[in-house]
Amino acid sequence: MHKVYIRRKRGEEPVTYDLPELEPILANTYGVITYQEQVMRIAQVLAGVSLAEADVLRKAVGKKDPELIRLELGKFIEKAVARNYDRAVITDIAAQIETFGRYGFNRSHAVAYSILSYHTAWLKTHYPADFMAAMLSSEIGDTDGVVKYINEARELGLEVLPPDVNESGYRFTVIGDRRMRFGLGAIRNVGRGAIDSIVTARKSAPFTSIFDLCSRVDLRLCNKRVFEALINCGALDGLGGHRAQNQAVLDRALQEASLQQHEVATGQGSLFGAPDPQPSEASSTNGSHNHALPNVAPWSETDRLAKEKEALGFYASGHPLDPFRTEAELFASHTVGQLGSWTPDRMTVAVVVTAIKRQVSKRSGSEFARLTVEDFSGSSEVLVFPEAWEKLADRVRPDIPVLLEGGYSKRDQGGENPTFIVEDVTRLAELRTNGRVIVAIDLTPQGPGLPLTPHVMTDVRAIADASPGSAPLEVRWSDGSDPLVRFRSSSAAVSATPSTLNDLRALLGAERVRLVRAS
């Protein structure tokens, strides 16, 4: 109906009324039912009911109660027909009233929402970083809300920087025109008191190391869990060393800082009565060889992202799906953010499983599972019935990227936010090894990329022989006048690893080499 409203307002189609009596009621809204007061007035004029009775119809439509809507619209139709109105016309008007209920408000609400929408749209257009920082700050404590707005900020071309103890405040803050710094208030296990202590301590000088940080904040507010969360989410990355190193020295840093703060609290000075070092002096001292970070291996990409997820509720510096963006684009029909709208079609989503909740059916006694899944657009819960779970349980693991295939139950049709039912699971890493992905090479002379040499196929063959695998190699060629011809090698199949693709792209140009879905 809103499209009809817009077309009529623009003069693209004439304004019409089903009955002459509707013109004085709907003239201001171009013949389209827009406000709840109009529903009440239509019922009063056509069905001859009182405003109190008309308000019952308004409430039924506003609450979206199907049974109550049918009951009240049935009364409206019969009373209007009894007043000699054509049944077909009245039935059509009743259908318009029911449709209106999906979006209609009373007039005062509608005006208020329109002004608010205009203001926010203007701010989002002209000050996108400030606007999105405010939206993110309003969702601190709600992980799903933060994830949603971070994805939206990135779609707007804004950069969301990870948290940093030297730069982040409690809320999300704007840095320049297109950058935002993550708010410390969105980190789990880091309370307001701890954040205030960090912000106050850094006013005198930036923190230079984990030892410096521990010595200058109030350890009564910043306990070990706070520092572990800061390390895990990357808030200490700017202090030198990697996360595994900072984690390895945390106990020693806290121990030294606790002893130092205890001495200050009890009034115990140094042996010769030397004054306590100022922040700048403490910083230089904490950077000495006594506080050298140990030579330990960095966390693996999987561990690093898993710890970020634990601290923030989502992945900040990367995503387990990042290496599989191509597979997601080729094989996923929907994103997680698009789930929740019923469709009869079979669907596929590329996700990471972040939580597995095993349950037992009271009816059959069989085990089934509820999975929390996530992609770049957000998170959702999906369901695996017992029969499918028995076959798929071994293939589902936390933080492992997978392709879920399934759909919605027919009994959920017409309901709100139906649950996605998983029928099959494929690990995304397997798609490059099971023949479902092809390495396509564009050898069109006028095509993009590097100029082609006479011996280009010899060089391509050498790369293929050096990296044998299961992904078919397909050459696409045209002289510019004839249609594109595709040749699939019967003897050469490659390993579609990043290193192989990089070798081919270095030879031919990045735009000449891509992965495509096998037909």
Least confidently predicted of 25-29, 181-185, 264-268, 300-304: 264-268
Instruction: Let me know: does 252 contact 275? Beta carbons within 8 Å.
Output: no
Residues 404-440: b if buried by 16+ CB within 10 A, e if exposed: bbbbbeeeeeeeeebbbbbbebbbbeebbeeebbbbb
Measuring CA to CA, which residue among 512, 495, 496, 510 is closest to residue 457?
A: 512
CATH fold of 324-428: OB fold (Dihydrolipoamide Acetyltransferase, E2P) (2.40.50)
Tell me, what's the pLDDT at 268?
61
Q: Tens of pLDDT along 121-153?
A: 999 999 999 999 999 999 987 877 888 888 889
3-state secondary structure of 391: helix
What pLDDT score does 274 carry?
A: 46
pLDDT score for 283: 45
At 65 the pLDDT is 76
| CATH code reported for the domain at 125-286 | 1.10.150
- Mean pLDDT over 482-508 rounds to 82
Answer whether 50's CB lies under 8 Å from 44's CB. yes
Give 482's pLDDT tier (boundaries 50, 70, 90): low
The predicted structure's pLDDT at residue 445: 72
Residues 6+ away with beta carbon under 8 Å from 230: 163, 165, 187, 190, 236, 311
pLDDT attached to residue 37: 92
pLDDT of 228 above 90: yes
Domain-wise residue ranges, the chain: 2-109, 125-286, 324-428, 437-517
C-alpha–C-alpha distance, residues 449 and 440, integer Å:
14
- Specify the amino acid at residue 72: E
pTM, 2 dp = 0.68
Q: Is the pLDDT of residue 289 over 50?
A: no
Predicted confidence band of residue 84 (pLDDT cuts 50, 70, 90): very high
Residues in the chain: 519
The model's confidence at residue 286, banded by pLDDT at 50, 70 and 90, is very low
Say what the pLDDT of residue 480 is: 65
